[in-house]
Structure 1
């Protein structure tokens, strides 16, 4: 449960990054079960004039966490994100490091 909560918090914080503000995010689909490494994807609904290949998603900075008075737990440092396009749409997927 902590991982899922942290992931949702992460995505909310990522939406604060200037480059992401122009994008509209959809639902989060969790593809893993309890006690498994989190596998999920977040649908990207509208890209505006941006090509999906040009989108970069990253964790909010330590300064952003501090500015919003949110504790930055160390395992968040190991989360990376990828953006992919499938026949079902465009998605952002977190990559949770094995040491999380």
Structure 2
């Protein structure tokens, strides 16, 4: 589910979330910023959506979500939003909304994350 408001024919997009951590580890994930090449990193703000948007989507904004940090990184493959926490994440299931804002628009996208247990090594 996504909502877009933009004044130009092109609009920023949020790609799929790629998870790179396990349950009981600090949260690490990334989301591609689509169609963002024409924008400077400082022109885009990405973070959790406000409480009102969580309510509108019928989601609870659980406290643990406040620990997630958002950082935009640019590379040869484009712009990405890196999501991380300092402390281990103990919630096996997260449902949250990311908000992206830029000078000409706003985008909301809901993400559901199922945290796997770390792989075990045979002994």
**TM bucket, shorter chain:** 0.5 to 0.7
* Alignment gaps of 5+ in structure 2: 90-123
Query: Relative contact order (C-alpha < 8 Å, sep 6+): which is higher?
Result: 2
Q: Normalising to structure 1: TM-score of the pair?
A: 0.64
- Relative to structure 2, which stretch is displaced further, 43-52 or 80-89? 43-52
How far 1:34 moved relative to its partner?
A: 4.2
Residue correspondences, number = 85
In structure 2, C-alpha distance between the alignment counterparts of 1:61 and 1:39, rounded to whole Å: 22
- Any unmatched runs of 5+ in structure 1? 1-11
Bigger radius of gyration: 2
Name the structure with the higher strand share: 2
TM-score (norm 2): 0.55
- Structure 1 counterpart of 2:29: 40
Higher helix residue share: 1
Q: What is the alpha-carbon root mean square deviation over aligned residues?
A: 2.7
